[in-house]
Amino acid sequence: MTMSDIEQQVDHLIDTRPGKELLQPNYEDVAYEVAPNIFRSNGATAVYMIVHDAGRIIVNTGMGYEAVHHKAVFDAICPGPTTHILTTQAHVDHVGGVGLFREPETIYIAQANNPACQEDDARIANLRYQTAQVWFDVSGAAAQRIAQKNPGVPMRQDKPVPDVLFEDRYEFVVGNLQVQLIAATGETIDSMIVFLPQSQTALISNLLGPLFPHFPNLNTLRGDRYRFVEPYLATVKKLRALQLQMIIPGRHLPIEGTELIDACLARLHGAVDYVHRKTLEGMNAGVDIYTLMSEINLPAELRVGQGYGKVAWGVRTIWETYMGWFHLQSSTELYAVAPLEALSELVQLAGAQAACERAMTLAASGQPVMAIYIAEAILRDEPDHAGAAKVMVLAHEALLAQGGDVSFWESGWLRSQAAKWRQ
């Protein structure tokens, strides 16, 4: 197979692994065998069961309420015993169901930073719960459906304590299965690669982002600590060094074939490295953050999906990682006066009606972001202004039509805002 054939396959994977569809997890009634003795149950984050001669290993457990579903579909195939639980990172959609799967003899293994990452999440748990409502089913509709199908099974969000913590690598043999756990940095600093050397298979979950090969979220819209480029690139190199025959990401089907996997990883490494270098070059040349966000784009040979993270967001995160929140553009950034306060003053000078008409014109002429600025200023002082609310709907729908419907995060936010102002 030629290199061009491989690159075409990479392009095909990018184009057929969308992000926006993932806003509503499909809780199917069965778990699917995605590789020999490896089964997947879909949810907010896919959960995996590895079957071996002595029982099963559970890789990630879902949210607490989801674990009830995952356990039911896994039990139908292999009821256990559960010899090990492995969580590839400490986010709540990975660790929430550990307690439900855990048995007296189960060994729960995590990377050494797992407790600190769980604690970090807990510090702003209330805020994260509020922000999550934009994208995820936190109203409980899915939980209610799962509870109805599994009466009497406890549904709680666990905060589990690992039995084993490791720094760099941890290896064990159970039944007929060899397992190597490799510490990595991706979405969290406690991430791990679950490597099965006998089949050259790696379960990576959301290590590189749940969509692979897609640009990562160096900072996610729902709120999280910044993720640093250099450790991310080092993780990609670790994966390439394993010469994998199969890689199993957090969403979509596994990718098979050493050449194809390596080409995907090389493309992803090249894309992130390119954005990093170009952002630093622009910063050193004195180019402002918004210009860089607008002008830095990937060359064709480094194209990756943007169904999860986006290049422009990566540029902004890199800029602020090096320079912080002060963009060196205006003295107003230094003081506790929101831009909308100044904009509302201008709206008052122009008159709300005239400002609204201008915003409507902007929304209709391909400048929806400018329209939102003005409409928000009107709504700050007149929350019930019907015209401004209409502008907000039209502008957000325009952004969706202009490409905002590609990214998981962007699509969810824009749709929620359009719905909010449509009411």
Tell me the per-residue pLDDT of 110-160, one tens digit each, with 9 for 90 and over: 999 999 999 988 888 888 888 888 887 766 777 788 888 888 787 888 899
Containing 182, the helix (H) or strand (E) segment is: strand 177-184
What pLDDT, on a 0 to 100 scale, did the predictor assign at position 2?
66
Provide the mean pLDDT of the chain: 92
Higher-confidence residue of 208 and 152: namely: 208
Shortest CA distance to 273 belongs to which of 319, 321, 218, 230? 230
The three-class DSSP label of residue 220 is coil
Looking at residue 20, its pLDDT comes to 67
Percent of the chain scoring above 70 in pLDDT: 98
Q: What is the DSSP letter of 20?
A: G
Determine the residue type at 292.
Answer: L
Closest of 274, 207, 260, 276 to residue 238, by C-alpha: 207
Tell me what pLDDT residue 155 has: 80
% of the chain surpassing 90 pLDDT: 75
Closest to 291 in 3D by CA, of 301, 282, 300, 303 = 282
Alpha-carbon distances of 318 from 68, 158, 243, 299, rounded to whole Å:
39, 34, 30, 19
